[in-house]
Structure 1
């Protein structure tokens, strides 16, 4: 039954990557879809839950994934994915689906990130690790890797695992096998406190908006407003100094140290760790995130700035977190996409990685 469901999903997904489903529809159905697309109303159905193997993957961190969305992009005829838990592993497969990437590490060792030992020292930016939250190929062939960064207080055995969070960018000239120096691009208006506590901003996602040629970062502050906020950059490479935070209905505050305002109406269901993609069936951006109540929520936007009222997507146990969407890639999908998420959290932080299909319908 599981194998049959996967075959059906694969056929649906292949059609969503091409124009075959559109060409096979009668003309009157095309007209109906055009009308409903203009109205903007849509619904979704969820497939049955399946789970992915956690045996030995990622090495040394088996059972902890996902720790956020998994960036997946196509390079040539292969798909590259980055799996993060304070350090990042790179996998290569002939499919974008995460189950096809398990145990396909290339190289076998982490390509980016890492943290100080418990008795290490803090550098005030990324000594606690870096998690990729968006990877894009630039016009010059390089990869831009946007990441969540943490700095800790040491020694951890007396200070705990609290973190001050921020967001940065690094660049790769060899398809993500190695990365250059990390740069901080988004920082909270409040500096790292002397007393250990959750602080800063992070747990986000970065996408490139092809409609206006801008990057958008969706993130959550750890203090103050703990709902999803956003920042934007018109620089083609997302360089330091080009980012502006959304504040009082405009991108008016600097990325490093500026203030922010939560996105309305997403603040109705505050949370973090969004996964965002452009949906070619809805002709909208779609965001899925976990609320602080342990449920997954979904919203859509025609321009990546003005978002619709959230809908409840999924409640799978007391804690359903870390959604990751994959369609043609992690930032583009069609009528049928694959949802990955973590549930069944154990006391040591390990969790089960689950998968379901999401099928959209225009109303």
Structure 2
């Protein structure tokens, strides 16, 4: 194992990095080599890569996971996972580790989402599918499921697979086996254009901040500043109309149609599809996302709003995307957590699901 130790002195909102920058970032994947990285006041060690079998999971969609976040929560003595590629499957297992969820579909059919056929019609919100990006149990026992939504242009055979993205919420009264009507909660200030293009906002994550009892959504606009932005809701159910976007230093813009400002300093490594959890060992929120350069990056925050300078977490081949963190759940972990991500992308979009441990040190 290769591990580096450093001493840092930090001032509020400003990090100073020592001159040994060659040790700050992991090298490219090398079997048997552990990797270490430095960030403000804490460090981590990255474990060897293991590959998970996806041969029959789920039916007809094998080889496409992960396709974004994999929300996982504990209900009673069981762990419930939600896997999406425009439609969502539920798994139930006695472990939070995703390898123990493969082959554990319950039910065998999708529980939420779906899309129109190639010659379908657009409804301007979710006809292209819905991907869960955060699931939380509410005080009344229901589940709130936050999702990335897409609307497409038809027919796709002539218009391509471009998408206008947004974010919504739905609710379940049976532990996620079925879901009620979907509602849109976050939308770009620019409406869906007439000409097909990547547009809107999405590819995010939703967490509940126990420090101030608010929901936070981290998302990326598809046009303009394509770096991670955020929105907040003080409503305990995350209802429509309760969301405010971060804009010019405050949560001042409406969730539906308001403007947004990208999070600094995360703009240093722009990207999307973050995975965010509260780390009980570091007493910080940890965010991991994929950059547009195909690498995974990591940052931390004491309050879920002010983030530290991002650092390189992993470069695994030409493209490592869709990070998903699992600790005791997908939104809480301790000194050692499990990183799941997609790599080895094939021309048809299929990819390999990989896993590594991340061990933090203070």
TM-score by length of 2: 0.89
- 1:134 corresponds to 2:134: yes
- 1:321 corresponds to 2:321: yes
List aligned pairs for 1:27-176, cutoff 5 A: 41-176=41-176
Deviations 1:54-81 (CA, angstroms, capped at 9, x unpaired): 1111111100000011000000000000
| Structure number with higher helix proportion | 1
What stretches of structure 1 of length at least 5 have no aligned partner?
1-38
3-state secondary structure, aligned to 2:287: strand
CA drift at 1:131: 0.1
3-state secondary structure, aligned to 2:349: coil
Q: Distance in 1 between matches of 2:41 and 2:69?
A: 26
Q: Distance in 1 between matches of 2:275 and 2:188?
A: 21
Q: Distance in 1 between matches of 2:210 and 2:64?
A: 33
List aligned pairs for 1:261-280, cutoff 5 A: 261-280=261-280
- 1:188 corresponds to 2:188: yes
> 1:222 maps to what in 2?
222
3-state secondary structure, aligned to 1:99: helix
> 2:354 maps to what in 1?
354
3-state secondary structure, aligned to 2:59: coil
Q: Is the 8 A contact 2:46 2:356 kept in 1?
A: yes
3-state secondary structure, aligned to 2:178: coil
3-state secondary structure, aligned to 1:203: strand
Q: Is the 8 A contact 2:168 2:184 kept in 1?
A: yes
CA drift at 1:40: 6.0
CA RMSD of aligned residues (A): 0.8
Q: Distance in 2 between matches of 1:128 and 1:298?
A: 30
3-state secondary structure, aligned to 1:313: strand
- 1:231 corresponds to 2:231: yes
Q: Is the 8 A contact 2:40 2:308 kept in 1?
A: no
TM-score by length of 1: 0.89
> 1:33 maps to what in 2?
none
CA drift at 1:275: 0.2
> 2:302 maps to what in 1?
302
- 1:212 corresponds to 2:212: yes
3-state secondary structure, aligned to 1:267: helix
Deviations 1:326-360 (CA, angstroms, capped at 9, x unpaired): 00000000000000000000000000000000000
> 2:31 maps to what in 1?
none
3-state secondary structure, aligned to 2:149: strand
Q: Is the 8 A contact 1:73 1:330 kept in 2?
A: yes
Q: Is the 8 A contact 2:297 2:314 kept in 1?
A: yes
Deviations 1:229-252 (CA, angstroms, capped at 9, x unpaired): 000000000000000000000000
3-state secondary structure, aligned to 1:80: strand
> 1:21 maps to what in 2?
none
Q: Is the 8 A contact 1:206 1:216 kept in 2?
A: yes
Q: Distance in 1 between matches of 2:69 and 2:120?
A: 28
Q: Is the 8 A contact 1:220 1:227 kept in 2?
A: yes
Q: Is the 8 A contact 1:58 1:65 kept in 2?
A: no
Q: Distance in 1 between matches of 2:178 and 2:211?
A: 30
What stretches of structure 2 of length at least 5 have no aligned partner?
1-38
Deviations 1:282-341 (CA, angstroms, capped at 9, x unpaired): 000000000000000000000000000001000000000000000000000000000000
Q: Distance in 2 between matches of 1:229 and 1:58?
A: 32
After TM superposition, which residue ranges in structure 1, 4 or more long, deviate above 3 angstroms? Answer: none
CA drift at 1:178: 0.1
